[in-house]
């Protein structure tokens, strides 16, 4: 008699290891609980910075007119960790970075950036728009799976000046492991708002820093009247961790006294949410569990939304199973395999820390 109309069940990721297993879990749970009782938790949606992302887009009129293909050149989503697998080697061997980070966290961030304004703030209105984004992701082809998806595995290196072991030397890891600890990919949202705008996603362990951010690179001015060699000068950086806030990068006119001429110089406007609102805000899981108690589904993933994410990821998993090359090695303390820079350079762009 515990399952009443007021009962809620919280499901933690990963929910399955492919589309079929995810459907099986959802079917089994759905036989006992209704969809409005099921809270599929993704702690990234509980982060204050992600909440501010929704507020930035849909609570202000400043950016929304520019939030489209005519004004945005590319969008980069980075979720980087300095940590390795720690004592979770056995778990990570059966999961990998694609299942652990891309299928859920990264795609949820992409949806928040790419979705259309919902008709209201109700849970299903928001989740309907996120589902449209997932259904609009460009399908994979044999060529794009080879060119636009890169997997890597960290080798020995140094983090913070201290030597760290390679992934294959971690506790619980197969010495001949082919599990990826890094993924970078390029995709597009095939709709009227975003057609032709590349979205670059990368995530990995033992990278050069702990850094989660979204970088929106705006197109350059259509006609240059200043003599400036600065590329991608206009960008909005949405910092998720370790700091929480916004950075707006602009060009301003400075005075070069030596040449007695005006030059353009990059300037940065910061909005540090930790300083503005304090460090002691509610944590991600805390916020989400409070929402469970209150019965708010806005920040939880619906079954069709989750299945669509698995459907899009599954061709990558199938491709990797037949790919004898395996993950590309990269040294711990770097930003991943060098092929990642080559991938983004094919579009004429570079990662934010390289520009």
Residues involved in catalysis:
105
Distances (CA, A) of 45 to 151, 253, 288, 334: 25, 39, 8, 27
Return d(Cα 264, Cα 267) in angstroms, integer.
9
Beta bridge pairs of residue 79: 203, 212
The residue written with tokens 């003599």 in the block is: 227
Distances (CA, A) of 330 to 96, 152, 342: 16, 7, 15
Structure tokens at 256: 């070069």
Can the peptide bond before residue 277 be classed as cis, meaning omega within 30 degrees of 0? no
Structure tokens at 32: 């006992």
Three-class SS string for the chain?
Answer: CCCCCCCCEEEECCCCCCHHHHHHHHHHHHCCCCHHHEEEECHHHHCHHHHHHHHHHHCCCCCHHHCCCCCEEEEEEEEECCCCCCCCHHHHHCCHHHHHHHHHHHHHHHHHHHCCCCCCCCHHHHHHHHHHHHHHECCCCHHHHHHCEEEEEEECEEECCEEECCHHHCCCCCCCCCCCCEEEEEEEECCCCCCCCEEEEEEECCECCCEEEEEEEECCCCCCCCCCCCCCCCEEEEEEECCCEEEEEEEEEEEECCCCEEEEEEEEEEEEHHHHHCCCCCCHHHHHHHHHHHCCCCCCECHHHHHHHHHHHHHHHHHHHCCCCCCEEEECCECCCCHHHHHHHCCCCCCCCCC
């Amino acid at each position: 008699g515990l399952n009443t109309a007021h009962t809620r069940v919280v499901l933690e990721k990963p929910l399955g290891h492919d589309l079929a297993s995810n459907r099986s879990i959802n079917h089994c749970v759905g036989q006992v609980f209704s969809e409005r009782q099921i809270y599929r938790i993704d702690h990234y949606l509980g982060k204050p910075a992600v909440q501010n992302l929704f507020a930035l887009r849909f609570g202000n009129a400043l950016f929304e007119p520019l939030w489209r293909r005519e004004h945005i050149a590319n969008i980069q989503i980075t979720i980087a960790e300095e940590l390795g697998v720690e004592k979770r080697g056995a778990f990570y061997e059966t999961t990998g970075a694609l299942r652990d980070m891309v299928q859920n966290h990264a795609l949820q961030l992409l949806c928040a950036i790419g979705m259309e304004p919902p008709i209201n703030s109700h849970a299903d209105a928001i989740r309907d728009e996120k589902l449209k984004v997932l259904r609009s992701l460009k399908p994979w082809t044999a060529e794009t799976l080879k060119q636009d998806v890169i997997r890597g595995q960290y080798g020995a290196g140094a983090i913070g000046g201290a030597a760290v072991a390679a992934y294959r030397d971690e506790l619980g890891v197969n010495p001949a492991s082919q599990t990826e600890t890094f993924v970078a990919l390029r995709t597009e949202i095939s709709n009227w708002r975003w057609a032709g705008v590349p979205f670059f996603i990368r995530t990995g362990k033992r990278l050069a820093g702990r850094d989660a951010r979204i970088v929106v690179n705006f197109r350059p001015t259509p006609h240059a009247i200043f003599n400036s060699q600065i590329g991608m000068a206009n960008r909005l950086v949405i910092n998720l961790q370790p700091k929480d806030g916004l950075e707006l990068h602009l060009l301003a006119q400075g005075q070069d006294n030596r040449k007695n001429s005006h030059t353009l110089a990059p300037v940065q406007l910061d909005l540090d949410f930790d300083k503005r609102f304090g460090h002691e805000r509610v944590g991600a899981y805390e916020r989400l569990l409070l929402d469970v108690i209150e019965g708010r589904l806005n920040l939880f993933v619906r079954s069709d939304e989750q299945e669509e994410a698995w459907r899009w990821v599954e061709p990558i998993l199938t491709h990797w199973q037949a790919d004898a090359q395996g993950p590309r090695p990269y040294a711990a303390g770097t930003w991943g395999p060098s092929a990642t820079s080559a991938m983004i350079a094919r579009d004429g762009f570079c990662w934010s820390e390289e520009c």
